[in-house]
Amino acid sequence: MSYPETYRYTKEHEWVHLENGIATVGITDHAQSELGDIVYVDLPKPGATVQTGQSFGSVESVKAVSDIYAPVAGEVIAANDDLATAPEKLNEDPHGAAWLIRVKVADGTDLGNLMNAADYESYIGAEH
Amino acid sequence: MLAACGLASADELFSQIPAEARLQRPLALADGISEYEIVDYFKSLAAQNANGYASFLGAGVYNHYRPVVVDTVVSRGEFLTSYTPYQSEISQGTLMTIFEFQTMVCQLTGMDVANASMYDGSTAIPEAAMMAERITGRHKALVARSAHPEYREVLATYARNQGMQIEEFGFDRATGQIDFADLESRLDKETACVIIQSPNFFGIVEDAKKAAAMAHAAGALLVFTFTEAASLGILEPPRDADIVAGELQSFAISPSYGGPFAGIMAAKEKYVRQLPGRLVGESKDSEGNRAFCLTLATREQHIRREKATSNICTNQALIALMATVYMELYGKRGLRELAEQNLAKAHYLGSKVKPLFSGPYFNEFAAVPAKPVEEINAQLLEKKIIGGLPLAKFYPELGNAVLLCATEMTKRADMDALAEVMA
Amino acid sequence: MIRKVRQHLSQNESLIFERSSPGKIGYQLPDLDVPAVDAAAALGAASVRAEIEGFPEVSEVEVIRHFTRLSTWNYAIDLGMYPLGSCTMKYNPRINEAVARIEGLAWAHPYQPESLSQGAMEVIGRLEAALCEITGLDAVTLQPAAGAHGELTGILLVRAALEARGNPRKKILVPDSAHGTNPATAGIAGYSVQNVASNDQGMIDIEHLAGLVDDDVAALMVTNPNTLGVFESNIAQAAEILHSKGAMIYMDGANMNALVGVARPGDFGVDVMHINLHKTFSTPHGGGGPGGGPVAVAKHLEPYLPVPRLKRMKDALAWDFDRPGSIGKVKAFYGNFGVMVRALAYILAHGGPGLRNATVDAVLNANYIRHKLRDFFDLPYDRPNMHEVVFSDDRQAAKGVRTGDIAKRLIDYGFHPYTVSFPLIVHGALMIEPTETESKDELDLFIDAMISIAKEVDEQPETLKNAPHMTRTRRVDEVTAARKPILRWK
């Protein structure tokens, strides 16, 4: 699966896509493949605030739980409810339909310290 | 075998233990004894306990008949000598019995989901309170003073170190039921849960619906507990509760000087991920046949470690199996008839010995004898009767009161004898 | 209706609810010798339920057949070796079951007068004394219901003692090789957890430990022998480091089967520990309980033990509730008494010399397995072990076969799997604990099976990936079970 050029990536394997002050956050294809079959996704409710680098939820496989860390700070304006009933979507389309949350970020939020697609791909390549 | 390990003596097996850490003498324990001597020894100990007494003790541990079939089942090595069913391909027996247990606990309590068992009723209470804390994000638990005193003590031990605040609310001195005015005055925005027991420690049936409504109005959960599971054969289950945590000792689990028993924990469906302990779920195997396995394990300590819902690991599987066999033997009709017999026996006793409280009671009630209870109980022992539990130890405010229990095992002649001494 | 759909000796078995039909009963009650009572009148109509919706209705023989058939779907120690590492699956002597059922013990009510409970109290007193001698510690409480419950009790004792000194402190140190219950316990006792790294020998890195211990540390929780089956040979040094900073050392006694009669935690600096009666002292696991988790402590922690304490008076035993320093009760009544009876029977049957012999055999058996399998499986920590040995699946993983696959294949050879993927510090762990129960013949069968599987990895890895093949139930879909939980029959 390809890593979209317009996204930015974290070392903890989250992606973020910033458009018009709204950041959409998900986990990468690499992350879902490491986790295996995802059985449950725990997400914050709209209205919650998230802090950069802090855990805002978790994803579970049968025998593991992984925290998800926020790449940006702001207020959660939407969580992907589909994942509650169909967590398998996270295995199928992690960069698209299975986004996790949308966050309204402060003006001037800078993603410059995150990796672009090429850097991320070489990062996960080096991990092995 | 030593040679295969490249060792000259058995002592070399322990060479990695520094000499100063090794025990340089034999254990100061007698030599082993034979099977016959062991039986003889324990029989001699058993002879020093009560034997052949009629008893009016209840108070959380009940004297119910234990059908022979129960031991036939739990003595099978396949149940007795297996481990927790992690390997589902060779554990379907245990897994299916737990699935049936979970189902019957739900049917009995009116809840949606139940776990595979807790240590006992007393430890299930703090687990339920912690669960309510996680769900509500609040840190105060209100517990009825009419709940089992030892359960409240265990709750206090757990709470003390967690920043959980425990407050008691009282009971009505006329009815023996919850003092709702007191409860209402203590509910606030910090209250995570209200914990009530029914029948309560005095055997009195509580209004769980009203307690639930009051708790919910304050944004708190209702935790319902019970010590006398036989009451659920006839009493309306606590459908309005959020969490039910109780004790199944009444279902073919011998009193055994206080344990091992089997606690239960059940809840509304939406709280399933906050349940502690093991859960068995239904699935299919690779050939498409129905099969069962442990599931939602990510809540548990071996995966989530310090963030787990509880540290519980070993629970009470074999004891829960006793209760499972019992529930299936008695079934829908048997549990009803059992409850009716208990009700009839206790109310016969209640017609001879006046109950202290006016609230409706199931199979036990408090009463105040004419003479000091110690004197009464000593007199009863002479007649080979163990009298009721003196309540002053746990409730100084009740003075000379005694808690009396009658079950289907209690004989009319013994009740008549008790009534005569107590008059 | 029962259909025999697959080949095996006994029938398939449906859930009891599917066998139920209205009117069937499997119980008997005597006729009432008192007048019947109208439930609605006695309890109030609103308090009386119509029926227990969905509850089964079956006959006695149906119940017997149901559970007997289900039992045949289980593996058990009674059927063969059960080498689950850290679980100490040893034979459960039946004499223990018999004595626990003697009427005067099994039907003792916890509130019956002390004068009529002396036999039960003697069981408790004698077991406490035996466990003090075995652990080398000064006092024992039998109240905790299982290992994790004992851990909680032990850490609460540490906390109470530190509080009495003025500061409960904030942290518990836990080695990265620890059981999951250790960090979970610390969390429930109100402590944060800090991990201690293992060194290249699989033991606590003493220098790392020394650097971590400060005035915020309440205790180190250490399993000894650790989960690699290795004795922490610098345990006394670790204890010194902790004690010098006012902290304590908690020992997880899950692996005590390696030490009984050979070494005593009280002699190497341990302040407090728990014992698993259902491991070391042979009380049956019963498919996941009941257990018994006694906690043994050094003198300085005794004042904080749960109430009540057993007290020997001049001519009788008594319960002492007047213990102002106590942490309170951790369980109603006195603990899992029925489990205590079984454990005491085991201790009496073995005696001091027999207990030590059991330890020697358990350690010898595990070393024998290490020597026989070392050429076939990778040994990440290649050194003498105690009662269990941990291999890694590194060689097999290269062929795409993981520890879980090897474990499932072992089932086809008639054995219960070892502990899979634990401890976490070993990549793809195979954790094997034979216990003293197994004879050389049984061990050799197991070893042959493991060697045969190692060869299959090279020759036919696909066979392993779909194993087990011989069981009536094949690999269960745990993913669907977790995604769409069905937790009860409807």
Chain C residues lying within 8 Å of B408, measured CB to CB? 29-30
Q: Are C433 and C82 in contact (CB under 8 A)?
A: no
For residue C236, the enclosing domain spans 95-348
Is residue C233 a part of any domain in this protein? yes
Look up residue C345 and give its two tokens: 């029977």
Place of tokens 């058996």: C365
Q: Specify if C278 maps to a domain.
A: yes
- Residue C478 forms contact with A (CB below 8 Å): yes
* 8 Å CB contact between C364 and C388: no
Report the SS3 class of residue B420.
helix
| CA C107, C113, C118, C123 torsion-angle sign | positive
C396 within domain boundaries: no
Give the pLDDT confidence of C190-207 residue by residue, as tens digits. 999 999 988 988 899 999
What the block records as the tokens of B335 is 């549990």
Q: Per DSSP, what are the bridge partners of residue B285?
A: C476
Pairing of strands C171-175, C217-223: parallel
Contact A44, B302 (CB under 8 A): no
Q: What was the pLDDT predicted at B404?
A: 98
For residue B24, pLDDT beyond 60: yes
- Residue after which a domain boundary falls, among C305, C333, C348: C348
Q: Say yes or no: A84 contacts chain B, CB-CB below 8 A.
A: no
pLDDT, tens digit, 9 for 90 and up, residues C338-353: 999 999 999 999 999 9
A65 reaches B (C-beta below 8 A)? yes
Q: Read off the tokens for C460.
A: 């036919």
Identity of the residue in B112, B122, B280 whose CB atom sits nearest the CB atom of C332: B122
Q: Are residues C208 and C337 in the same domain?
A: yes
Are residues C122 and C33 both part of a single domain?
no
pLDDT, tens only, C234-260: 999 999 999 999 999 999 999 999 999
Whether residue C111 is found in the same domain as residue C54: no
Mean pLDDT of B256-276: 96
For B226, half-sphere exposure in the C-beta direction (CA atoms, 13 angstrom radius) is 32
3-class secondary structure, B367: strand
Distance from CA of residue C224 to its chain's centroid?
Answer: 15
DSSP H or E segment with residue C251: strand C248-253
* Cα A104 from Cα C245, distance rounded (Å): 48
User: Is B341 in a helix, a strand, or coil?
Assistant: helix
A-B C-beta contacts closer than 8 Å = 17
CA-based nearest distance B293→chain A, Å: 11
What chain B residue is nearest to C267 in terms of C-alpha separation? B21
Average pLDDT over residues C113-138: 98
- Give the number of domains in chain C: 2
Neighbours of chain A (3+ CB pairs under 8 A): B, C
Residue B6 pLDDT class (50, 70, 90 cuts): very high
Residue whose token pair is 């993983």: C397
Q: Are residues C63 and C137 in the same domain?
A: no
Model confidence pLDDT, tens digit, residues A56-108: 999 998 878 899 999 999 999 999 999 999 999 999 999 999 999 999 998 88
C229: its two tokens? 């089956």
Write the residue in B89, B278, B312 that is nearest to C411 by C-beta.
B89
Residue contact A40–B303, C-beta within 8 A: no
pLDDT digits (tens, 9 = 90+) for B342-389: 999 999 999 999 999 999 999 999 999 999 999 999 999 999 999 999
Kindly state whether residues C61 and C169 are assigned to the same domain: no
Q: Which residue's structure tokens are 């073995």?
A: C350
Tens-digit pLDDT profile for residues B28-58: 999 999 999 999 999 999 999 999 999 999 9
CA nearest A40 in B: which residue?
A: B296
The SS3 assignment for A88 reads coil
Question: Are residues B62 and C386 in contact, defined by beta-carbon separation less than 8 angstroms?
Answer: no
| C164 plus C32 within the same structural domain | no
> Which residue of chain A comes nearest to C482, CA vs CA?
A39
Q: Would you say C412 and B89 are in contact if contact means Cβ atoms under 8 Å apart? A: no
Size of interface B-C (CB pairs under 8 A): 653
DSSP for residue B371: S
Average pLDDT over residues C117-129: 98
Q: What phi-psi label fits residue C288: left (phi over 0), alpha (psi between -120 and 50 degrees) or beta?
A: left
Q: Do the beta carbons of residue C321 and residue C167 sit within 8 Å?
A: no
What's the pLDDT at C10?
A: 52
Q: How is residue C114 written in tokens?
A: 């002390």
Asked if residue C267 and residue C129 are part of one domain, the reply reads yes
In a domain, residue C430? The reply is: no
Determine phi and psi for C419, rounding to 5 degrees. -75, 130
Most C CBs within 10 A among A37, A38, A41, A88, hence the mutation to make, goes to: A37
Half-sphere exposure of B175 toward its Cβ, with a 13 Å CA cutoff?
14
Q: Which residues of chain B are within 8 Å of residue C54 when distances are taken between CB atoms? A: 103, 107
Query: What pLDDT does residue A126 have?
Result: 76
Nearest CA in chain C to B51: C104
* Cβ of residue C476 closer than 8 Å to a chain A Cβ: no
Pair C222, C242: CB distance under 8 Å: no
Percent of chain C with pLDDT over 70: 98
A112 Cβ contact list (under 8 Å, min separation 6): none
Residues 6+ apart with CB under 8 A from C292: C142, C144, C145, C146, C276, C277, C278, C281, C283, C335, C336, C339, C340, C343
The domain boundary, picked from C56, C71, C86, lies at C71
pLDDT band at A127 (very low <50, low <70, confident <90, very high): low
Region B281-296: mean pLDDT is 95
Claim to verify: residue C48 and residue C114 sit in the same structural domain: no
Within 13 Å of residue B338, how many CA atoms lie on the same side as its CB?
29
Point out the residue among B21, B102, B334 whose CB comes nearest to the CB of C488. B102
Sort residue C279 into left (φ over 0), alpha (ψ -120 to 50) or beta. Answer: alpha
Distance CA C267, CA C265 (A): 5
Domains of chain A: 8-126 (2.40.50.100)
Of B57, B260, B305, the CB nearest to C112: B57
- Mean pLDDT score, C418-441: 95
pLDDT digits 0-9 by tens, C439-466:
999 999 999 999 999 999 999 999 999 9
* Alpha carbons B317 and C468: distance in angstroms, whole number: 25
Indicate the helix (H) or strand (E) that contains B263.
strand B263-267
| pLDDT bucket at C7, cuts 50 / 70 / 90 | very low
∠ CA(C205), CA(C207), CA(C212), 5° rounding? 95
Please state, in angstroms and rounded to a whole number, the distance separating the CA atoms of residues B417 and B419.
5
Residue C357 lies in a domain: no
Q: pLDDT of A4-55, one tens digit each?
A: 999 999 999 999 999 999 999 999 999 999 889 999 999 999 999 999 999 9
Does any domain span residue C451? no
Tell me what ipTM this predicted complex has: 0.97
The per-residue pLDDT for range B224-259, each reduced to its tens digit, is 999 999 999 999 999 999 999 999 999 999 999 999
pLDDT at B340 over 60: yes
pLDDT one-digit tens code per residue, C65-122: 999 999 999 999 999 999 999 999 999 999 999 999 999 999 999 999 999 999 999 9
Assign B123 to helix, strand or coil.
helix
Instruction: Verify that C189 and C238 share a domain, yes or no.
Output: yes
**Domains in chain B, please, with CATH?**
54-66+332-422 (3.90.1150.10), 69-325 (3.40.640.10)
- C60 and C106, same domain (yes or no): no
* Range scoring the smallest mean pLDDT among B121-135, B293-307, C397-411: B293-307
> Which chains border C (3 or more CB–CB pairs < 8 Å)?
A, B
Instruction: Say yes or no to pLDDT of C1 above 70.
Output: no
Residue C331 domain flag? yes
Half-sphere exposure of C436 (CA within 13 A, CB side): 21
Cα separation of C71 and C261, whole Å? 36
The answer to whether residues C104 and C64 belong to one domain is no
Average pLDDT value for residue range B313-329: 94
SS3 state at A81: coil
Q: What is the CATH number of the domain that holds C105?
A: 3.40.640.10
Contact call for B273 and A63, based on CB within 8 A: no
Check pLDDT > 90 for residue C15. yes
Task: Specify the pairing of strand C248-253 against strand C272-275.
Answer: parallel
Closest residue of chain C to B130, computed from CA coordinates: C188
- 3-class secondary structure, C415: coil
Domain shared by C58 and C138, yes or no: no
Q: What is the pLDDT of residue C2?
A: 35
Domain termination site, one of C303, C333, C348: C348
Q: Which of residues 285-304 of B touch A (CB under 8 A)?
A: 297-298, 303-304
What are the percentages of helix, strand and coil residues in chain C, rounded to 5? 40, 10, 50
pLDDT band, very low/low/confident/very high, at B310 (cuts 50, 70, 90)? confident
Contacts of B273 in chain A (CB under 8 A): 40, 42
**Per-residue pLDDT for C4 more than 60?**
no
B86 in contact with A at a CB cutoff of 8 Å? no
